[in-house]
């Protein structure tokens, strides 16, 4: 299958053709200025409720008459590894599980085309309806659909059965990685109904409407709308496609209509239309994440009729992006230093089975931090994450789950290439996505199999989406010129100087300057950096802990990020830097920092209850909201009378008191305020700091007990 929109069958693309031919020019002009509400002939039905589940491989469970009364009632999203995948030992269940449910399809859907959609199942899913095997999907992170017309019976009881396995499989990426591979139907399940004449549903489960923008400036922007049609009727249809761009108020700002085209029975066609927007409001990151709506109407005009058979509406954010080797990232022609976090789809007690309110909470915390970018590691995320990034103006690095190792086999190559095409097709229209990642930390960085695969993935990206930037994350230990990191337009480096090796103080900057000098055309970013922290462990100015040890004091993580943050801010040629990670997450093979089964490098704890000290360091630097925060606040019981008071703030001055006695007022040029050699008295001590923001006084207080 060819990519889009560089190579395609083009049927028509004349702006205004539909309106002018069917309404007359004066009517077309008045309709152009009118508010627009997209029709919605499609039907989506949620199928998350009422499943039964067993964590075992059961013979005959696909049969409609199978007795599942002894199985556990569950709703999706669901995973069977929420607990055992986060308790350490690397012994969580990796094998098969079965899901079944009965469903009565509304009788009014008779005559519609029906599709069963799964937003994410890890890792291999076999699906049956009424005993008929629909197919198998491999890959745990992308959406997939099966056509079920004629299999699901409207008006009658139907049985849906799904066998899922997260067993190790060397033919599917990722083979291994530093996180728990949780099994289950862990994202939403739904039923879709369309007309027999519709926008294609089975194009790698993409939207079937693809928006390519070009020549985007403050004066104008060009959008090419490619619509993939399919005629599932038994007769040839005459079709007109109308593309409408509307602003947030519903006012139409651009549109195009095709002339009538014939589409034969049981075949498809592609229609490409180009529209121009005058003086567009640009999607400008967190400063102004403005979104238009692009709607495509499919009109069945067979035998002189005009019936709207299908409509697909996609968001449209108009922006231009570029990365310069000397000046870094540019959005809409202006420099924007990307500072952000890495995000995993996992949380305490829920595992991967998280819901929309929990996605929103995560983004609220990211927004509070002041980040303007997210690397969605190490796989395709739920659509809700990309939608939230669109709405909030966060620049996104999206990537496939090619992590650590490559299997030199035809099956592995085909599966990985398929996961890349799914990622691109399903997410092509999200304006937040600027970078496509083709891999992370492949250990055989100069191996033939590794680089043959990476070269093929880079080629697919150039064919599928030549407008975005390809990237790859180089492992800390790899040489800067490792072949694996040379396939993409830009490169990220995972750098843990001061954690796994080396020093946090100055070595990152020296490394970056050396690479920038020796390879001046190389466009370099920092895809990962971080250090572990247990919020119950504390020490004053601790040395570097053992990464695999049980002692990860919170204060060292803060010192690490202070040092890294200053080095990164001084180097505008680094196009982006992403903290590893926003949240602690499950990695069942780990046993360190006093938290078995957890990677504790998050700025926020696994349960989202505690923002660690380092969180507030970034908030003081990145966010515009008033920040005043006393560090080491959870170190409530002290044994040494002499200590340090350290505050993170974006205020000009901070005043401190200890037990009501003034410690003085300090100014700071780096958002760190330190009072050294503070002496605590036996028993409880109250520390209070105050600062003024725009005429308002803010206060933070902690209590520390000596003895």
Please identify every residue annotated as catalytic.
441
Q: Residue 26 corresponds to which tokens in the numbers above?
A: 């004066």
DSSP letter assigned to residue 285: G
DSSP letter assigned to residue 1: -
Answer yes or no: are the C-beta atoms of 53 and 97 closer than 8 Å: yes
Q: Residue 230 corresponds to which tokens in the numbers above?
A: 């399919």
In the sheet where 642-649 sits, what is the strand order?
A: 628-630, 642-649, 672-679
Query: What is the tally of helices (H) and strands (E) in the chain?
Result: 9, 40
Listed in sequence order, the residues at least 6 apart from 350 whose beta carbon sits closer than 8 Å to its beta carbon are 82, 358
C-alpha–C-alpha distance, residues 349 and 218, integer Å: 47
C-alpha–C-alpha distance, residues 468 and 361, integer Å: 28
3-class DSSP state of 175:
coil
Question: Can you state the angle between helices 448-464 and 410-427, rounded to 10 degrees?
Answer: 30
In the sheet where 328-331 sits, what is the strand order?
A: 321-324, 328-331, 334-335
Q: Where are the alpha helices (DSSP H) in 570-699?
A: 613-622
Answer yes or no: are the C-beta atoms of 318 and 213 closer than 8 Å: yes
C-alpha–C-alpha distance, residues 444 and 156, integer Å: 54
Strands 267-278 and 261-263: unpaired
Peptide bond before residue 561 is cis, with ω within 30 degrees of 0? no
How remote is the C-alpha of 179 from its chain's centroid? 16
C-alpha–C-alpha distance, residues 182 and 283, integer Å: 35
Answer yes or no: are the C-beta atoms of 262 and 237 closer than 8 Å: yes
C-alpha–C-alpha distance, residues 450 and 436, integer Å: 18
Query: What are φ and ψ of residue 303, in 5° steps?
Result: 55, 35
CA contacts within 13 A on the Cβ side of 123 = 23
CA contacts within 13 A on the Cβ side of 218 = 5
Angle, vertex CA 691, rays to CA 689 and CA 694, nearest 5: 160
Peptide bond before residue 174 is cis, with ω within 30 degrees of 0? yes
Angle, vertex CA 182, rays to CA 181 and CA 186, nearest 5: 135
């Amino acid at each position: 299958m060819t990519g889009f929109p560089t190579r395609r069958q083009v049927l028509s693309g004349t702006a205004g053709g539909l309106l002018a031919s069917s309404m007359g020019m004066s009517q077309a002009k008045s309709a152009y200025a009118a508010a627009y509400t997209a029709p919605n002939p499609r039907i989506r039905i949620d199928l998350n409720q009422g499943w039964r589940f067993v964590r075992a491989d059961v013979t005959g469970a696909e049969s409609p008459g199978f007795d599942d009364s002894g199985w556990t009632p569950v709703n999706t999203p669901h995973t069977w590894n929420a607990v055992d995948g986060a308790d350490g030992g690397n012994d969580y269940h990796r094998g098969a599980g079965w899901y079944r449910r009965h469903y009565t399809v509304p009788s009014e859907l008779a005559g519609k085309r029906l599709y069963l959609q799964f937003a994410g199942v890890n890792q291999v899913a076999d699906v049956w309806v009424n005993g008929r095997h629909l197919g198998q999907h491999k890959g745990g992170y992308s959406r997939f659909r099966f056509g079920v017309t004629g299999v699901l019976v409207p008006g009658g009881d139907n049985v849906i059965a799904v066998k899922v396995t997260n067993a190790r499989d060397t033919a599917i990426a990722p083979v291994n990685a530093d996180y728990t591979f949780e099994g289950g139907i862990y994202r939403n399940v739904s039923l879709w109904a369309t007309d027999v004449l519709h926008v294609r549903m089975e194009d790698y489960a993409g939207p079937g409407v693809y928006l390519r923008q070009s020549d985007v400036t403050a004066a104008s922007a060009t959008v090419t709308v490619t619509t993939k049609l399919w005629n599932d009727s038994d007769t040839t249809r005459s079709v007109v496609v109308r593309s409408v761009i509307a602003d947030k108020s519903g006012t139409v700002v651009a549109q195009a209509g095709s002339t009538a085209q014939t589409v034969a029975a049981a075949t498809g066609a592609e229609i490409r239309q180009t529209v121009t927007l005058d003086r567009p409001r640009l999607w400008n990151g967190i400063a102004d994440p403005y979104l238009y709506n692009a709607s495509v109407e499919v009109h069945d005009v067979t035998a002189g009729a005009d019936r709207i058979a299908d409509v697909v509406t996609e968001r449209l954010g108009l922006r231009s992006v570029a990365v310069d080797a000397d000046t870094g990232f540019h959005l809409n022609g202006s420099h924007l230093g990307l500072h952000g976090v890495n995000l995993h789809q996992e949380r305490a007690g829920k595992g991967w089975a998280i819901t929309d309110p929990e996605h929103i909470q995560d983004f609220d915390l990211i927004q509070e931090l002041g980040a303007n970018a997210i690397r969605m590691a190490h796989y395709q995320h739920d659509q809700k994450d990309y939608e939230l990034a669109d709405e909030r103006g966060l620049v996104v690095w999206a990537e496939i789950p090619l992590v650590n190792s490559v299997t030199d086999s035809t099956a592995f190559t085909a599966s990985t290439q398929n996961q890349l095409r799914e990622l691109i097709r399903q997410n092509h229209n999200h304006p937040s996505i600027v970078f496509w990642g083709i891999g992370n930390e492949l250990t055989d960085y100069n191996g033939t199999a590794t680089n043959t695969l990476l070269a093929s993935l880079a080629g697919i990206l150039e064919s599928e989406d030549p407008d975005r930037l390809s990237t790859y994350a180089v492992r800390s230990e790899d040489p800067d010129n490792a072949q694996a990191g040379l396939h993409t337009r830009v490169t990220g480096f995972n750098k843990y100087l001061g954690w796994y090796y080396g020093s946090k103080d100055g070595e990152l900057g020296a490394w970056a300057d050396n690479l920038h000098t020796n390879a001046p055309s190389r466009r370099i970013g920092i895809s990962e950096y971080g250090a572990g922290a247990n919020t119950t462990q504390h020490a004053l100015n601790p040395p570097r802990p053992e990464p695999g040890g049980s002692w990860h004091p919170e204060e060292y993580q803060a010192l690490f990020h202070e040092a890294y943050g200053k080095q990164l801010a001084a180097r505008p040629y680094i196009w982006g830097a992403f903290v590893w990670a926003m949240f602690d997450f499950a990695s069942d093979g780990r046993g360190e920092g006093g938290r078995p089964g957890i990677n504790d490098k998050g700025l926020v704890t696994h349960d989202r209850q505690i923002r660690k000290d380092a969180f507030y360091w970034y908030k003081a630097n990145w966010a515009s909201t008033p920040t005043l925060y006393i560090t080491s606040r959870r170190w409530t019981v002290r044994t040494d009378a002499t200590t340090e008071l350290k505050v993170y703030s974006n205020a000009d001055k901070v005043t401190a008191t200890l037990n009501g006695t003034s410690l003085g007022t300090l100014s700071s040029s780096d958002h760190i305020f330190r009072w050294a050699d503070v002496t605590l008295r036996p028993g409880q001590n109250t520390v209070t700091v105050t600062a003024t923001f725009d005429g308002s006084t803010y206060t933070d207080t902690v209590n520390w007990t000596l003895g």
